[in-house]
Structure 1
Amino acid sequence: MIKYAVVGAGWISQQAFLPGVAQSENSKVSAIVTGDRDKAARLANFYGVGRIVDYDGYDALLGSSEIDAVYIALPNDLHADHAIRAARAGKHVLVEKPLATSEQDALAMIAAAREAGVFLMTAYRLHNEPGTVAVLEHIRSGAIGQPLFFQSMFSFQAAAGNHRLKAASWGGPLQDLGVYCVNAARHIFAEEPIEAMAMVNRPIDDPRFREVEASVAALLRFPSGGLAQFVASFGAAPVDTYRVVGTSGDLELDPGFRFETATKLRLRRDGDVRETQFPQIDHFGAQVKYFSDCIMAGTPPEADGEEGLADLRALVAIEKAGLTGQPQSITSPPRGRHPTPDMVRLTPATDRRLVL
């Protein structure tokens, strides 16, 4: 049983991670690190968590034997500091995406984990979800021929006051939603993008978007000629879907990204349409179960720090392209690992959660 500290007890921890760990069978939450002790006490009582720590007590917790790993669900600009401190204390690190706010910080996180001999995993829960992996297996088997272009939309209406609308936290729809699109495209083409173009929209009459864009439209070019196009938005109706068109067929995953709904795959080829409805799993339970399996087996996770860094490089290029109106080059080494069926964990979903 791998013992975790949840660092940051906000919405994603309450809605998804804490309930998911309870479904994992091989993991438990032993501590909650937060600045809101009253909220933490209610969560700890609900989930049977033995210790509550404020941020001043974080290093002491890391120095104890009470935890083996941390899950970092803080605003983006706080990822690097808390991850590096955990790694240096010998704790494994699962950190929400984007991995960091700069390539320099991401590299420091990777180096800290490597030097300490611990695992750093970027929280790509979809790598452990059956529909996502089935898309990649279809493409690898030649079901649509050579993939040529990818198109995606991921959007919802963000609530005013959310930290994801703060520039200081490197918030915005690109970082929060666009990262899913970038990650999907990279594995679909099994390549790293080499160029980015983008346009952004920030409506002047909506106070939510005083600091960040409402919508980002991006285009990525891949070495083989593949093109990936997506729109990510915090100011539109909820949509999450993507489609891949190849030389002899196409496939669509709709829904494709969110954890609240089961994925559904539609494959079209030679006039034939086949649909596959995948089971609703607990994405966060599957993710933590996989990471704990890796820790116990001593096997590095596929979605490691370098995986998060590869997406970060693309995000930074897209952001700059949107700000300047000029194409931006991207340089990342090829990735030898991609999500595979052995990484899927069919962890059952749960309705037992406490959201404060």
Structure 2
Amino acid sequence: MKSRRDFLQKLTLSAVSIPLMPAYGTKSFAAYAGESYQGTMLRVAIMGLGSYGTRVADAMKDSKKAKLVGVVSGTPSKVKEWQSKYGIPEKNCYNYENFDAIKDNPDIDAVYIITPNGLHHDQTLRVAKAGKHVICEKPMGINAKECREMVEACRKANVKLLVGYRMRLEPNTLEIVRMRKDGELGKIMFFQGLSGFRIGDPTQWRLDKKLAGGGAMMDIGIYAVNGSRYMVGEDPVWVTAQETKTDPVKFKDGVDETIQFQFGFPSGAVASCLSTYSMNNLDRFFLNGEKGFAELHPATGYGPIKGRTHKGELNKPHVTHQTLQMDRMAEIILEGKEPELPLDGEEGLKDLIIIDAIYKAVKSGKKETIEI
């Protein structure tokens, strides 16, 4: 298995087959399909035309409020392929050297950055300077310092900075959040987040410290970090962490293979999480409260997401995550709407503050304070 994209794709293909029609929240497929939208569309250029960029582009074919209109890529052959496949005009095609000129293109509203982690910071600053809204894949940057600069650049440019937190829009996930908020689980006591798979090709960018910013934590582990926050409903205040490395040739210095980490939250709740590149079958969230529990397994794949609680199975309709994400982001940017769980750059910054603390705890062997 080569990457997290492959891992999440495998989860999708191995899950029970359900029609992949997009749906909002608890609305039925029929209700969503029957809705019409005559308003302004968010016009998006995708930067980075790899496998996930393709997944987003394909999902946007079903979007009601967002459409693909441009591309940014360093590979001319991919640009030509996308022009043909998605009907993208030549004037909306850029490479990594000239995309600053996008500022003079009134037909593009936002740029979705889907490139290696180590490139997000500089690319976000350039897109913001060009006056376009930024959608950035997670992790937003490779450390909190970068993320603060990204947030500030977008604030100064008066553009939105959103992060591709698709799971924060997933219906079964949001049902658990609702149950927690409504007190149906009682006082939250414990969260467990398991995120991992066996990574393949040792030459890929995800195992390059400069491009990835780390290893498994910066790829699959961020799901457990972010998930702990929206499942518990709080930000952690301390962390302890332990790293295990069995293959120092494949996982070079600064590229983590496996990290176990534990959080403490202001309410007294605790979390136990694992991030790894060396074990399969790890995609599970478990939330335990004084009155009940909730579980997602798989918790972060492309779907269908499966869940259950002490009240029974969760059966919200499957959502094409990227279709829903792009429509929701269009509402945020164009209509000023706010999602149930925020998707903004401040959330991306919080995750990197936490990840910085995890790496610090690995090195110190001590409990480290998290200051968000």
What's 1:116 paired with? 157
- Aligned pair 1:62/2:103, yes or no? yes
Correspondences of 1:165-204 after superposition (within 5 Å): 165-169=207-211, 170-204=213-247
What does residue 348 of structure 1 align with? none
Counterparts of 2:336 and 2:314 in 1: how far apart (Å)? 34
2:271, 2:70 → 1: CA distance? 41
**Aligned residues of 2:223 and 2:300 also touching (Cα < 8 A):** yes
| Conserved? CA contact 1:262–1:277, under 8 Å | no
- CA shift at 1:239, angstroms? 2.4
* CA distance in 1 between partners of 2:338 and 2:104 (Å): 23
Matches within 5 A, 1:186-335: 186-204=229-247, 207-211=249-253, 212-259=255-302, 261-268=303-310, 273-299=311-337, 302-332=342-372
Give yes or no for contact 2:59–2:322 (8 Å, CA) kept in 1. yes
Q: CA RMSD in A?
A: 1.6
Partner of 1:40: 79
User: Matched residue of 2:155: which SS?
Assistant: helix
Does the CA contact (< 8 Å) of 1:155 and 1:234 recur in 2? Answer: yes
1:31 is aligned to 2:70:
yes
Change (3 A) 1:282 1:198: same
Residue pairs, 1:137-156, within 5 angstroms: 137-156=178-197
More off after superposition, 295-304 vs 145-154: 295-304
User: How far is 1:300 from its partner?
Assistant: 6.0
* Distance verdict in 2 for CA 1:238–1:18, change over 3 Å: farther
Q: Secondary structure at the match of 2:235?
A: coil
2:251 maps to amino acid: F
Judge conservation of contact 1:262–1:278 (CA < 8 Å) in 2: no
Partner Cα distance (2:282, 2:145) in 1:
33
Tell me, in whole angstroms, the C-alpha distance in 2 between the residues paired with 1:17 and 1:187: 24
* Structure 1 position 274, deviation (Å): 0.6
Q: TM-score, normalised by structure 1?
A: 0.87
> 5+ residue gaps in structure 1?
333-356
Could you say what secondary structure the match of 2:105 adopts? coil
Instruction: Measure the CA separation in 2 of the matches of 1:293 and 1:32.
Output: 22
CA contact (8 A) 2:102 2:130 kept: no
Is the Cα–Cα contact under 8 Å of residues 201 and 214 in structure 1 kept in the other structure?
Answer: yes
* Conservation of the 8 A alpha-carbon contact between 1:263 and 1:278: no
Q: Alpha-carbon deviation of 1:72?
A: 0.5
Tell me the TM-score normalised to structure 2 length.
0.84
Instruction: Specify the code of the residue in structure 2 equivalent to 1:4.
Output: V
Q: Retained in 2: the 8 A contact 1:80–1:109? A: yes
Q: How far does the alpha carbon of each residue in 1:157-193 deviate from its partner, in whole angstroms, 9 at most, with x for none?
A: 2221221111112031111122111112112222211
Provide the rounded CA distance (Å) in 2 between the counterparts of 1:171 and 1:69. 28
CA distance in structure 2 between the aligned counterparts of 1:241 and 1:281, rounded to whole angstroms: 19
CA–CA distance in 1 between the matches of 2:318 and 2:209? 34
User: By how many angstroms is 1:68 displaced?
Assistant: 0.4
**Number of aligned residues:** 325
Counting aligned pairs with the same residue, the percent is 31
SS of the aligned residue for 1:235 comes to: coil
Sort the Cα spacing of 1:299 and 1:249 in 2 relative to 1 into closer, same or farther, 3 A.
closer
* Corresponding position: 1:127 with 2:168: yes
Unaligned segments of structure 2, at least 5 residues: 1-40
**Paired residues of 2:72 and 2:96 also in contact (CA < 8 A):** yes
Instruction: Give me the whole-angstrom Cα distance separating, in 2, the residues matched to 1:62 and 1:178.
Output: 35
Cα deviation code 1:86-145 (max 9, x no counterpart): 112211111011111222221111112112221111111111110111110111122221
Aligned amino acid, residue 102 of structure 1: N
Amino acid at match of 1:25: K
Cα distance, 1:238 vs structure 2: 3.3
The offset of 1:2, in angstroms, is 1.2
CA distance in 1, matches of 2:122, 2:287: 37
1:96 equivalent among 137, 145, 160: 137
1:146, 1:247 within 8 Å by CA — same for their partners in 2?
yes
Counterpart secondary structure, 2:266: coil
Per the alignment, in what secondary structure is the counterpart of residue 323 of structure 1? helix
